[in-house]
Amino acid sequence: MSAVRVYGLASCDRCRRARQWLAARGSEVEFVDLARTGLEPATLDRWLDALPWEALLNRRSTSWRALPLGRREGLARISRRSAKRGRGDGGQDKARESSGAQAYSTVRRAPEPSATQDCPPDPRPQPRIGEKCGLDEARALMLEEPRLVKRPVLETQDTVQVGFDPDAWERVL
15 is catalytic: no
Q: Distance between CA 9 and CA 21 in Å, rounded?
A: 16
Any idea which residues carry the catalytic annotation? 12
